Structure 1
Amino acid sequence: MAAVGINKAEGGHGPGILLFFLGMSLFTFNDALGKWLVAEYTVGQILLIRSIAALLLISPWVVRGFRGLLSSDQPWLNLLRVVLMVAEVAAFYLAVRGLPLADVMTFYMAAPLMVTALSVPLLGEKVGPRRWAAVLIGFVGVLIVLRPTGAALSPSALIALGGATLFSLILIVTRRLRQTGGLGLITYQMLGTGLAGAATVPFAWVTPSGFDLVLLLGLGAVAMGAHLCLNRALSLAPAAVVAPYQYSTIVIAAALGWAIWGDVPTPQIIIGNLVIIASGLFVYYRERQIKGT
């Protein structure tokens, strides 16, 4: 597992690392809250209500930058990102209905490896033999977690793997959208997921209690807080420095799963995690060596 401490070499980036860790922790808490709520409410209404809350929070900035939001340089690529985002969020909530949170998060830990593999055909980037070896070893870790036998290969596991693949595609598309500001990306994302959720409401709706409505709205608030932390973190420290700390979220997810649902990670999950994390860390540090960071 990636440590959450700050070593001497990275001491100057301490505030950025801490904010990144806080942001990833908030995302993990947000995922746990979503798993709790998806047991009672439809995926569509969760998407709708969390998006409303998030849009309300960022509305002052949206109003001030409204003209800029309408003048996107790559509208079709932004639309593709929104479609991928809607599918990925829905896949995540569907997956956590049938799997422990830490299991689903394990599949998502493979996303950086998928990005490395997909960046060759989709972005034209060059990947050396060492990083290819790390990617292949990481996918062995995914197979360990997936346990591809007739008895163990569950629909929820396949949905989680599909969600992780979609997430990696989102990261690649976001790389291509460097000219679109963070406010634009978040606004399009929340509008897209909100509209997709609204489209399902006439077919499936469970009226939430007052307390659950607060929790549903809290999903949007926590997600916005996480985005703010990550954006600020990346302005204080290079991405190559903070990125490995995302692996600490699997520890948080496992702790939340044990405390709330009594989920205990299986040996396959632990071994698969170690393989995936070791491969991902090698890819990150290899990229830092190549870029001289």
Structure 2
Amino acid sequence: MLMGMAAFAANDAIGKWLVADYGVAQVILLRSLAALVMMAPFLMRGGQVMARIRSAPRPRLQALRAVCATAEVFCFYLAVFYMPLADVMAFWMAAPIYVVAISPFLLGERVGARTWGAVAVGFAGVLILLAPSLQISGPGVVFALLGTMAFAGIMVLGRSLRETPDRDLVLFQLGAAAIAGLVLAPFDWTPVRSGGDLALLFLLGVVATLAHMLVTRALKRADASVVAPLQYSLLVWGVLFGFTVFGDVPAPGMALGAALIVGSGLIVLRRPPRKIAADGA
């Protein structure tokens, strides 16, 4: 999980660099194609791709997870176009809190008063991130909030589909993003300007594939409550990459909001919610 978070941070930094010059759909399309090329040997080893797609367990959940993953990556790259990298990552840290907030309604889980209190603290952190003093533009905030919700959906669905092989989960995720990019990229296409940019686009696909494979494996090897807190290391990488690559200095409000989100998330994940029994007991 720690290696996956480091890979995601590198992926995010490269993506932010590229969307400054190329359309988001174009970057996602080329990133997805590069990732699929990299994964080809693993996909072929598992048998016919189309047969595995047709026989995938719980196809509706698979499709919903692919949609959430596609929405999440589009929203993230759109958010970092408008906002500093660390600020966007701070929003993404709220995903575990959203998971707990919706679990009574979607998963039938009982959430105690202590956990609800932690969720309230986390949302207070999100409100601090929304403070006008951070000078965050409106579109960036909207994309960040939508992307965080989509990321929470990926977390819930990924745990529910843990019987699906890692390569298939990543295949469905990358395939959906490639299709969306193929549809939207022609409306905002910029010719690749240099071999260096082309190399970065390919590297983006490689790093994204490694990140997804590492996180998917982590969620299958251990409970989400064990590995999910490690995603907060992403914020450290975000501050580091944001400062060294883009010269972004985190605002004091961002630090306070992120601290509240991380603290509440650790409290939430310390004791997993219990499922409500069939008789309501």
TM-score, normalized by length of structure 1? 0.86
Deviation of the 1:175 alpha carbon: 3.1
Structure 1 spans left out of the alignment, 5+ residues? 1-19
- Partner residue in 2 for 1:71: 55
Q: 1:53 aligns with which of 31, 34, 37?
A: 34
Aligned mates of 1:259, 1:128 — CA distance in 2: 42
Letter in 2 for 1:46: V
- Partner residue in 2 for 1:251: 236
Secondary structure (helix, strand or coil) at the match of 1:200 reads helix
Aligned mates of 1:80, 1:235 — CA distance in 2: 19
Letter in 2 for 1:217: F
Residue by residue over 1:137-182, the C-alpha shift from the partner in whole angstroms, topping out at 9 and shown as x without a partner, is 1000100111169x86622112111110111122222233233222
Is 1:115–1:172's contact at 8 Å kept on the other side of the alignment?
yes
TM-score, normalized by length of structure 2? 0.89
Are 2:180 and 1:180 equivalent residues in the alignment? no
Is 2:126–2:257's contact at 8 Å kept on the other side of the alignment?
yes
- Partner residue in 2 for 1:281: 266
How many residues end up aligned between the 2 structures? 270
- Partner residue in 2 for 1:260: 245
Q: 1:196 aligns with which of 180, 186, 198?
A: 180
Deviation of the 1:61 alpha carbon: 2.1
Letter in 1 for 2:36: L
Deviation of the 1:73 alpha carbon: 2.5
Structure 2 spans left out of the alignment, 5+ residues? 276-281
Is 1:146–1:153's contact at 8 Å kept on the other side of the alignment?
no
| Percent of residue pairs bearing the same amino acid type | 47
Aligned mates of 1:234, 1:160 — CA distance in 2: 24
Is 1:147–1:153's contact at 8 Å kept on the other side of the alignment?
no
Is 1:28–1:249's contact at 8 Å kept on the other side of the alignment?
yes
Aligned mates of 1:87, 1:286 — CA distance in 2: 30
Is 1:57–1:221's contact at 8 Å kept on the other side of the alignment?
yes
Is 1:115–1:169's contact at 8 Å kept on the other side of the alignment?
yes
Deviation of the 1:256 alpha carbon: 0.9
Superposition pairs of residues 1-293 of structure 1, within 5 angstroms: 20-65=1-46, 66=48, 67-147=51-131, 154-208=138-192, 209-234=194-219, 238-287=223-272
Aligned mates of 2:5, 2:254 — CA distance in 1: 20
Aligned mates of 2:159, 2:124 — CA distance in 1: 27
Secondary structure (helix, strand or coil) at the match of 2:109 reads coil
Residue by residue over 1:78-98, the C-alpha shift from the partner in whole angstroms, topping out at 9 and shown as x without a partner, is 222222222111111110001
Deviation of the 1:236 alpha carbon: 5.5
